Amino acid sequence: MGNAAEAKRTISEGTAAGGARTVRLGKVYGSGDMAVRALDDVTVEFPAGRFTAIMGPSGAGKSTLMHCVAGLEDASSGKVYVGDQELGALSDRRLTRLRRERIGFVFQAFNLIPTLTARDNILLPLTLAGTSPDREWLNTVVRVLKLGDRLSHRPSEMSGGQQQRVALARALVTRPQIVFADEPTGNLDSRTGAEVLALLRNAVDDLGQTVAMVTHDPVAAGHADAVVFLADGRIVDLMDAPTADRVLDRMRGLGDHS
Ligand SMILES: Nc1ncnc2c1ncn2[C@@H]1O[C@H](COP(=O)(O)OP(=O)(O)OP(=O)(O)O)[C@@H](O)[C@H]1O
Ligand SMILES: [Mg+2]
C-alpha cells in the first residue's frame, strides 16, 4: 500500500466515531470438515448518521455480520470498529459495557424474555444499566410502535408482529449510538412496517442515529441511504441512494429470488 493510501486509511480510522466498520472480517463456525465460512474478507462501513441496509440470499452471512459488528460474536479474522474502538482489543467487561451503552440490537428471533411483560422487556437495557428511561422518548417509541395497550402482556400473549415491535422498542429505548436490526419489518403488516421504517429513518435524520438493517424487502431497503449486498459471505455490491426498483433490479442480477 502506498503512503497516500495508508494515510487516507489512518484518517478514516480516526474519524469513524459514531459509525461502525469492519476490515477484512472473517467468521468461521466449527472446525475441520465441519467448518462453515460465514464471512470471508468483509470490509464494509456503516457510516455515522446514516441508514444502511444489508441484503442477500438466505445463508449469505447477513446475521453473522451484524452479530460480529455488534460484538455479540467474535471475529475469526480481521477487525471490527465501533466508533474508533476496535472490539477485539476490549476485555469482556468493557465489551459488555460498550454493547450495553452504545448498541441497540433487534434480533431476527426477537429474543424477548418470556417471563417479563412488554414494558419490562422494553426497559430491560436500562434496568441492566441501572438508569431510568427518558419518559418522553419512551412514550414516543411506545406510541409510534403502537404498544400502548400491550405493555402488561408477556411475549406468549402477543402476535409475532407485536413481539417484533417490543424488540424494536427495546433496541431504541436507550437511544443507542448504533441500532442493528435483523429484519425488523419481516413479520409486520405493510402499514406497521412502513411506520417502523419511518421511525428508523427519523431516528437517523433527526437524532443522528446510525442504523444498519438486514432486509429481504426492496421497498424497505429503499428507505436506506445505502445498500450492501452480501452473497456467500462476501460483499458483492454496494448501492448509494437506493430505490425499491433499482434494488429489485440488482437482486435479479445477483440471482436472489428470496
Ligand atoms: N452458530 C452457527 N453455527 C454454525 N453455522 C452457523 C451458525 N450461525 C450461522 N451459521 C452458518 O453461517 C452461514 C451464514 O448464516 P447467517 O445466519 O449469517 O445467514 P443470513 O444471511 O442471516 O441468512 P437468513 O437470511 O436466512 O437469515 C450459514 O451457512 C449458516 O448455516
Ligand atoms: Mg439471518
Ligand at minimal distance from the CA of 54 is: 1
Is 109 a pocket residue for ligand 1 (Cβ < 6 Å)? no
Is 59 a pocket residue for ligand 1 (Cβ < 6 Å)? yes
pLDDT interval class at 206 (50, 70, 90): confident
Q: What is the mean pLDDT of residues 57-74?
A: 96
pLDDT tens-digit readout, 150-186: 999 999 999 888 898 899 899 989 888 899 999 988 8
Is 228 a pocket residue for ligand 1 (Cβ < 6 Å)? no
pLDDT at 54 over 60: yes
Residue 145 is placed in which grid cell?
410502535
pLDDT interval class at 187 (50, 70, 90): confident
Best residue among 31, 64, 68 to mutate for probing ligand 1's pocket (most ligand atoms within 8 Å of CB) is 64
Sequence-separated (6 or more) residues with CB below 8 Å from residue 103 = 70, 71, 82, 176, 177, 178, 179, 180
pLDDT at 130 over 60: yes
pLDDT, position 194: 87
Domain-wise residue ranges, the chain: 4-257
Distance CA 192, CA 185 (A): 8
pLDDT tens-digit readout, 2-29: 444 444 443 344 333 579 999 999 999 9
Distance CA 214, CA 221 (A): 9
Best residue among 22, 31, 36 to mutate for probing ligand 1's pocket (most ligand atoms within 8 Å of CB) is 36
Q: Could you tell me whether strands 226-231 and 210-214 are parallel, antiparallel, or unpaired per DSSP bridges?
A: unpaired
pLDDT, position 186: 84
pLDDT, position 17: 52
pLDDT interval class at 108 (50, 70, 90): confident
Name the residue with the closest Cα to ligand 1, atom 28. 59
CA of 29 to the centre of ligand 1 (A): 9
Helices 160-172 and 118-129 pack at an angle, to 10 degrees, of 20
Instruction: Compute how many other C-beta atoms are within 10 angstroms of the C-beta atom of residue 158.
Output: 18
CA distances from 254 to 63, 151, 215, 250 (A): 19, 42, 16, 6
pLDDT interval class at 188 (50, 70, 90): confident
pLDDT at 137 over 70: yes
Is 29 a pocket residue for ligand 1 (Cβ < 6 Å)? yes
Fold of the CATH domain 4-257: Rossmann fold (3.40.50)
Is 62 a pocket residue for ligand 1 (Cβ < 6 Å)? yes
